[in-house]
Amino acid sequence: MLAYRLNELNTVLKDGKKCAELLLKHMKNIQQHVHRLYRIRNAIVHSGEMQYNANLFTKHLYEYIEYTMSVVIH
């Protein structure tokens, strides 16, 4: 798996167009996750009266942050 990733990275870095496309794809993916985080945050702020919903939204927010960080690190 590591050898495959190394070959893939080597191929991408040799071709500027592929590199730009890959970076653009990752940027769009991160933007989508940030928008999701804002929607979750807004849902928490606007439905704070009900403890159950706040706990559920907090759980979802944590999951989205964890997933986003794994994508960013990858």
Could you give the CA distance from residue 60 to residue 41 in angstroms, rounded to a whole number? 10
Return the number of other C-beta atoms located less than 10 Å from residue 39's C-beta.
Answer: 14
Is 68's pLDDT higher than 80? no
| pLDDT, tens digit, 9 for 90 and up, residues 4-59 | 888 888 888 898 888 888 888 888 888 888 888 888 778 777 776 555 566 777 77
CA 3 to CA 73: how far, in whole Å? 18
End-to-end CA distance of the chain: 14
pLDDT score recorded for residue 46: 76
- Region 51-71: what's the mean pLDDT? 74
- What per-residue confidence (pLDDT) applies to 5? 83
- Per-residue pLDDT at 61 exceeds 80: no
Whether the Cβ atoms of residue 20 and residue 41 lie closer than 8 Å to each other: no
